[in-house]
């Protein structure tokens, strides 16, 4: 068991009648022994490739969370507390000094560089969106990185200082765009994300070089990909972090034939690539 100790809790958004609270939990990185522990070491979680940390909720199951920051000895998980949420409720109930099991997990995605990066974060999806934005700016492949954050109100947003710091560090290269569904606010779009809005927010100099990432529920990400396709960016060609071809096989642990594979979308009616056979 990789017991992970909570060392700090920070509230980013306080609970109010109209909004759900958001907290950051800071955990000490536990010792990792690959012969005993499952998953990957916390220190090897690649935030820039969308790797996650699995928090093993007692009496429930391992739940995915983006690592919002990784330092030498500790890591952060930033989460929204949902009403009656089993996992988020448990994390919220933890006190400094409490422990739970956790392990790192690879996203099975790879980096597809381009000179323009557009990232769409829905609500608490910013926990992956902002760290990936920061990593893209640090990598330097992208001449321009635009982060579009869809929230209900400005009061639901957080990490204002971190965003300001990136704007100061990368003037002209980094652009932050807010869209609010329940509030009109100066300098922000109002309403919901549409293909037209995406076209307005993302204006690459070279459309062929545009790469996109959306972070939200599966439905939101599927719909966003469809909207991007509608405005001329076919996926996964234009995905910033497309699924690696072999990740499906890695998940299953061994090769299987097309007839035994339940993931018909993966095989698309084709036999598996021979190089994945074991």
Ligand X SMILES: Cc1cc2nc3c(=O)[nH]c(=O)nc-3n(C[C@H](O)[C@H](O)[C@H](O)COP(=O)(O)OP(=O)(O)OC[C@H]3O[C@@H](n4cnc5c(N)ncnc54)[C@H](O)[C@@H]3O)c2cc1C
Point out which span in 9-17, 64-72, 192-200, 255-263 binds ligand X (CB under 6 A): 64-72
Does residue 80 interact with ligand X by CB under 6 A?
Answer: yes
* 8-state DSSP, 78: E
Does residue 52 interact with ligand X by CB under 6 A?
Answer: yes
State how far the alpha carbon of 219 is from the alpha carbons of 28, 159, 232, 247, in Å. Answer: 33, 25, 20, 21
Does residue 217 interact with ligand X by CB under 6 A?
Answer: yes
CA dihedral sign, ordered 168, 169, 171, 172 = negative
Q: Does the annotation list 88 as a binding residue? A: yes
Q: Provide the strand spans (E) within 185-259.
A: 189-190, 210-215
Does residue 26 interact with ligand X by CB under 6 A?
Answer: no
Does residue 106 interact with ligand X by CB under 6 A?
Answer: no
Residue 231: half-sphere exposure toward Cβ, Cα within 13 Å = 21
Angle between helices 160-169 and 126-139 (to 10 degrees): 20
Nearest Cα to 268, choosing from 243, 239, 231, 238?
A: 243
Point out which span in 82-90, 108-116, 249-257, 263-271 binds ligand X (CB under 6 A): 82-90
Beta strands 210-215 and 174-180 are unpaired
Q: Does the annotation list 60 as a binding residue? A: yes
Q: Closer CB to ligand X, residue 133 or residue 272?
A: 133
Q: Closer CB to ligand X, residue 81 or residue 210?
A: 81
Q: Closer CB to ligand X, residue 61 or residue 277?
A: 61
Span 107-146, contacts to ligand X by CB under 6 A: 124, 127
Measure the CA–CA gap between 250 and 245, rounded to whole angstroms: 10
State how far the alpha carbon of 89 is from the alpha carbons of 60, 128, 158, in Å. Answer: 12, 20, 20
Q: Does the annotation list 80 as a binding residue? A: yes
Q: Which residues contact 48 (CB under 8 A, 6 or more apart)?
A: 111, 131, 132, 135, 136, 139
Point out which span in 62-70, 167-175, 241-249, 261-269 binds ligand X (CB under 6 A): 62-70
| Selected binder of ligand X within 25, 70, 87, 179 (CB under 6 A) | 87
What six digits make up the tokens of 68? 């919002």
* 8-state DSSP, 113: -
Does residue 64 interact with ligand X by CB under 6 A?
Answer: yes
Does residue 79 interact with ligand X by CB under 6 A?
Answer: yes
Number of residues that bind ligand X (CB under 6 A): 18
Point out which span in 76-84, 112-120, 144-152, 256-264 binds ligand X (CB under 6 A): 76-84
Does residue 63 interact with ligand X by CB under 6 A?
Answer: yes
CB neighbourhood size of 128 (10 A): 27
Q: Closer CB to ligand X, residue 81 or residue 272?
A: 81
Which parts are annotated binding residues for FAD? 60, 80, 88, 127
| Residues of the shown chain interacting with ligand X in the complex, contacts defined by CB under 6 A | 52, 63-66, 78-80, 82, 84-89, 124, 127, 217
Which parts are annotated binding residues? 60, 80, 88, 127
């Amino acid at each position: 068991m990789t017991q992970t100790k909570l060392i700090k809790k920070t509230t980013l958004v306080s609970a109010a009648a109209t909004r759900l609270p958001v907290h950051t939990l800071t955990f000490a990185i536990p010792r990792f022994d690959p012969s005993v522990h499952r998953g990957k070491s916390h220190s090897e979680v690649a935030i820039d490739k969308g790797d996650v940390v699995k928090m093993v909720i007692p009496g429930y199951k391992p739940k995915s969370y983006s690592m919002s920051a990784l330092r030498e000895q500790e890591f952060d998980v930033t989460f929204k507390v949902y009403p009656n949420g089993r996992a988020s409720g448990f994390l919220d109930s933890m006190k400094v000094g409490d422990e739970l099991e956790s392990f790192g997990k690879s996203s099975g995605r790879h980096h597809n560089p381009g000179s323009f990066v557009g990232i769409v974060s829905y609500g608490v999806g910013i926990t992956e969106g902002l760290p990936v934005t920061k990593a893209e700016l640090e990598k330097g492949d992208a001449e321009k990185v635009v982060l579009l954050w869809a929230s209900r109100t400005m009061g639901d947003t957080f990490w204002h200082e971190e965003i300001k710091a990136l704007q100061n560090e990368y003037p002209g290269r980094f652009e932050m765009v807010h869209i609010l569904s329940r509030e009109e606010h100066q300098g922000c779009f109002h309403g919901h994300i549409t293909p037209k809005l995406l076209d307005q927010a993302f204006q690459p100099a070279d459309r062929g070089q545009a790469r996109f990432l959306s972070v939200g529920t599966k439905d939101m990400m599927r719909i966003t990909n469809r909207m991007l396709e509608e405005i001329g960016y076919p996926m996964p060609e234009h995905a910033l972090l497309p699924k690696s071809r072999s990740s499906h096989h890695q998940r299953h642990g061994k090769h299987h034939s097309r007839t035994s594979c339940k993931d018909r979308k993966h095989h698309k009616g084709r036999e598996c690539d021979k190089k994945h056979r074991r």
